[in-house]
Structure 1
């Protein structure tokens, strides 16, 4: 208990279980979470109810996805001795608080949510369920039920957190001060390129899993998109725009100052450059 009192505050963060995690999840969130465990009292949520907002038609794999997510978290360094790890649906009070909040949250607050608009544009009008529209209210319940005062977010997620703050303010005004207004802990999430050069995402099927076996890592990196202007061996390369070099910066930072000029001069070809990355990436994933 004394150890918790020395920490700076309480954090709530989570992920939807939609399958095994990839390098983008690892670099974009999990590594930061691992570091936050030493500074904050941390609550990490496997948000299986949130997964239903866009995947309610088929839930056959949801239980397995919950298990996969927990395994990936543990393997990345989320420590149940230092943090609380829980499955959202196992705590029914989240749904109860969500229901109470929904009684006073105006619909226009939810309709202006940029993520809701993006999902409708991507998924079509049939996706406009109450669960999708109201998911920020459930998200607010997730945060406020633990009286979390800090939430790690990227700049694009600030509108979501502001809605939670608005809900806390309205509740406190109507019924008396109970909930803190959680503050954002801005995190510079790493942009991890996929094997096709776009942002790594399961949606694009361009990802490398955290749990990928060495042979599969090798197969994917060998297929990886590189500099389109480097057609032949000896052609000068452009490492600053090459996705392979971007992964070198993350998993082979010590050699990037040597790799970049060799690539620009044309002395380093794509095949040996990828072979080097395969070795370094597999070594990182084995740790």
Structure 2
């Protein structure tokens, strides 16, 4: 599968369960629940009973509050397309509103069960969604376009359902800790670890090493910094990011082992007024199952829909006008076989178009959809698909126009989001700097 590295849909969705009660950057709150039985004045018996009950009233155990953080981002290069929306942003909205993750499994293929609850633990979700502009510049960007692309991406987050009252939205470069920690980790990571990264090899081979920037080589460390700043212990990633998550785990082990042990480290932490825990939490991978949200190219059903594809007809952009959407679907690649069917390896375009049709109609089952369309010819199915996509995107496009027109509101949302993210990220950065022996301000 072709992967466009510098413009990939970055699923950084960080699911951090912070359980260290005294750790500065992941505070744990407690909440107590006490039940009491009051006395009535009508009877001494009831009064006496009340006195006994008050003394012996059961006290519910204090609940521990664990913070689960999600940090996700998409690059602002080009227009966000249907694959970005269905594969990432729509999932962010669902988690924001339900607190549930998409199906995911660990590196051994075992499913995570986030439905198992400890009655003595209250989980509080903190959602951070960023526009990862620092990742975007791993390839040259037009300075005249980058700012508008960044603001447009943030506006689309809101239009798609990310609620600033429930989640924080910010621009990656507005939180300096991301780039500063990346530099510290650059200096602590062996070069041969990066030389093993498959995606860099693929991209460098296509572009030629003479024209590839150093940032493209080291960007997996920036991704590691993004993850580690928020002290995540679980990180849902796509299969294509598995190797980068493993790199982040290796960096944690190396950094904590080299800088966060022994009495000298404890003395540095004491002097700086911070706990002497290791600087970083080692994240565990949650491999996100693609499912029906996997959207492929309209011109090649075996490749993912991509911003970097030079053919605009290969993708449906979220902001495409209805006529453009209809034209793209009318011209999209199909086959000469009769009917429409799912999961036939010989018919990838059929599966892709059915996946899109199902994704924009979330209330319907595969069986119900197949019963409707299985005997249709492509000339019948394509207009049906086009109208379903247009109907699904229409409210998003309308809301986007409203948000983007109010730049004061949009910039206010981004400022508030950056301040909230910085409050967490700067504490982790300070811990890392103290561990390495930097002089930090009081």
- What's 1:233 paired with? none
Residue segments in structure 1 that go unaligned for 5+ positions in a row: 231-235, 263-267
Select the residue among 191, 202, 208 that pairs with 2:307.
Answer: 202
Is this contact kept in 1: 2:79–2:307, CA < 8 A?
A: no
Equivalent residue runs for 1:148-227 within 5 Å: 148-176=232-260, 177-189=278-290, 190-198=293-301, 199-204=304-309, 205=311, 206-227=314-335
Deviation at 1:7, TM superposition (A): 6.0
Query: Is residue 2:216 matched to residue 1:132?
Result: yes
Deviation at 1:110, TM superposition (A): 0.7
TM-score, length basis structure 2 = 0.58
Equivalent residue runs for 1:1-287 within 5 Å: 9-37=68-96, 38-39=98-99, 40-56=125-141, 58-176=142-260, 177-189=278-290, 190-198=293-301, 199-204=304-309, 205=311, 206-227=314-335, 229-230=336-337, 236-240=338-342, 241=347, 242=350, 243-252=352-361, 253=364, 255-262=368-375, 268-287=376-395
What is the SS of the residue equivalent to 1:209?
coil
How many angstroms apart in 1 are the aligned matches of 2:209 and 2:240?
23
C-alpha spacing 1:251/1:13, structure 2 compared with 1 (3 Å):
closer
Is this contact kept in 2: 1:11–1:149, CA < 8 A?
A: no
How many angstroms apart in 2 are the aligned matches of 1:172 and 1:103?
14
Is this contact kept in 2: 1:10–1:149, CA < 8 A?
A: no
Deviation at 1:249, TM superposition (A): 3.1
Deviation at 1:284, TM superposition (A): 1.2
Higher relative contact order (CA 8 A, sep 6+): 2
Is this contact kept in 1: 2:80–2:153, CA < 8 A?
A: yes
TM-score, length basis structure 1 = 0.86
Could you say which structure has the larger radius of gyration? 2
Residue segments in structure 2 that go unaligned for 5+ positions in a row: 1-28, 32-63, 100-124, 261-277, 396-442
How many angstroms apart in 1 are the aligned matches of 2:386 and 2:183?
49
Give the CA RMSD over aligned residues: 2.3
Deviation at 1:180, TM superposition (A): 0.7
Deviation at 1:2, TM superposition (A): 8.4
Deviation at 1:238, TM superposition (A): 4.8
What is the SS of the residue equivalent to 2:137?
helix
Displaced runs of 4 or more, over 6 A: none
Deviation at 1:17, TM superposition (A): 1.1
